[in-house]
Structure 1
Amino acid sequence: MEEFMWNLKTRRVPWSVLGLWFLGFFFPLHCWAEATGEPEPEVENSLGTFGGSVLLSSNYMFRSISNSNDGPQVQGDINWSHDVGFYAGLWASNTNFGGPGNSMELDPYIGFAGNFGESDFSFDIGYWSYNYPKSAFDLDYGEIYVYVTYTKDKFSITPSVWYAENYFGEDFLDDVSGIAYEVTLAYQFPKNVSASLRVGEQAFDSSFDYLDFVYWDVGIDWAIEDWSIGLRWHDTDGVDPFLASRKLTDGEFVLGITRNF
């Protein structure tokens, strides 16, 4: 299973990473508990809104591991959202993961997002399905995700959790669950420039905990009307050859241009 397998070093995540995640998760909830909110106003019933985006990128990075063999990425997304908070969409990209014969990733998703009353907190809960339609192996799987965001002025902190019951399908780690913890810090500068830092851990069942690894990325984005340009540095700590070759996990800058519509 060559390069589509991930490469994780046999070491545990530093306690500082887990501490950062718990700080990001419980600090917002603590502040929210102290906030007083009023009932949300009624929302007009409608058929919702359609949107989408197209991204051209120098690499396809998933949790700071290249999924395009360090080649360029063309990514598209089309989605629907409703004022009450429901949304659904279809995400697609070229990929060099997903097993022999596969060159595409096709991911439908669905979720619900909103605010906690009139407080500075918001949430996003959903399900993301990863599919490799031309693969010779059964590597399709899904993840349930939960985000909680605390926003104050131009700063935000977002802890999140992604859980997969059968990580990377029946032909990879069958019946082995995986869970990813992340914390993202973001700041909005003038002139539509923003900066963000994300730190995460990908963990597995206890009998496979030697596969756990840390990943992070940091970068800036510049929005120009319906366009945005981003430059990010991606890196990992400890990725074993069982999951991917070392060249796919070494630190790298990635440049991307997005057109929203």
Structure 2
Amino acid sequence: MLRHPATVLFAFCSLISVHCQADVSSTVTYTSNYLFNGITLTDHDPALQPSLDWSSGDGWYAGLWASNIKFSPGTDLEFDATVGYWHQLNDDWLIDVGVAQYTYHGDSNANSEAFNFPEAYVKLTYHNTKLGYWYASDYFGAGGGHYIVALFHTIPLHENGSLLLTADRSTSTQTDKFLRDTDGTYHHWRIAYLVSGLGFNWTLAFDDTDYSLPFYGDAKISLSVARTFQF
């Protein structure tokens, strides 16, 4: 997994922008609840989530992303890095593959880095429908494998708004490593209304799961607002 500090990312982009029309942007999101596959990572509290994103213009991309978190005592920051490549197969199909590194930070006694893990993914898109698969061999540093299969479908509603329907299944390959049902799985579904206006992107969503532990995977409504800045 390649991890670039922000200064390296900007320098790299400036070097190649003449040749491949590279683009750098930053998105700042404020959400009422940080949800990771339907599970709250902030105890249902709000989160501020900045990102720095680079695109080569010919398929390659990389990104840095951060968020405050509150799912383990003393661990209060998540910082992730992603690198990937997408390719338009034909007029109908697009494939996207990449890897992500999730890292966690907090006070010196929290041992937050024990949660760190890498993950690989592949996504296949057909018009407004996307199928994704993610795999981690050491999910949240627990020593067990984990994969997620997700289906996304976008329904355009008007010029500035759409409805996004999501259904995904999370499966642990070693059930003794995670607090799950006996078969090591849980399901998550989401209905989200996405709209742009006043220079911002707004998301109003309803999420629910059949996660075996109460509170973390309970049904919830969340509101997010984001703004993207181009450089």
TM-score of the pair, normalised by structure 1? 0.74
Kindly report structure 1 stretches of 4+ aligned residues shifted beyond 6 Å. none
Which residue of structure 2 aligns with residue 125 of structure 1?
A: 97
| Structure 2 residues not aligned, in runs of 5+ | 1-17, 177-181
Which residue of structure 2 aligns with residue 65 of structure 1?
A: 39
1:198 to 2:166 alignment? yes
Q: Conserved in 2, the CA contact under 8 Å of 1:60 and 1:72?
A: yes
Q: 1:55-94 CA deviation, whole Å, 9 max, x = no partner?
A: 1111001101110001001111101110111111100000
Name the SS of the counterpart of 2:139 in structure 1.
Answer: coil
Query: In percent, how many aligned pairs have the same letter?
Result: 26
1:168 to 2:140 alignment? yes
Which residue of structure 1 aligns with residue 54 of structure 2?
A: 80
> How is 1:106-121 mapped onto 2 (pairs within 5 angstroms)?
106-117=79-90, 119-121=91-93
Higher fraction of strand:
2
Aligned pair in 2 of structure 1 residues 218, 136: CA closer, same or farther (>3 Å)? Answer: same
Match of 1:229 among 168, 179, 202: 202
Match of 2:121 among 145, 153, 173: 145
Aligned pair in 2 of structure 1 residues 51, 63: CA closer, same or farther (>3 Å)? Answer: same
Q: What is the CA-CA distance between 1:100 and the residue it aligns to? A: 2.6
Q: 1:159-210 CA deviation, whole Å, 9 max, x = no partner?
A: 10000011111xxx21x11000000011122231110111011001155563
Q: Conserved in 2, the CA contact under 8 Å of 1:100 and 1:136?
A: no
Q: Conserved in 1, the CA contact under 8 Å of 2:169 and 2:187?
A: yes
Name the SS of the counterpart of 2:215 in structure 1.
Answer: helix
Q: What is the CA-CA distance between 1:45 and the residue it aligns to? A: 2.4
Aligned pair in 2 of structure 1 residues 225, 115: CA closer, same or farther (>3 Å)? Answer: farther
* C-alpha distance in structure 2 between counterparts of 1:203 and 1:114, whole Å: 28
| Structure 1 residues not aligned, in runs of 5+ | 1-43, 241-245
* C-alpha distance in structure 2 between counterparts of 1:146 and 1:167, whole Å: 17
Match of 1:101 among 74, 86, 111: 74
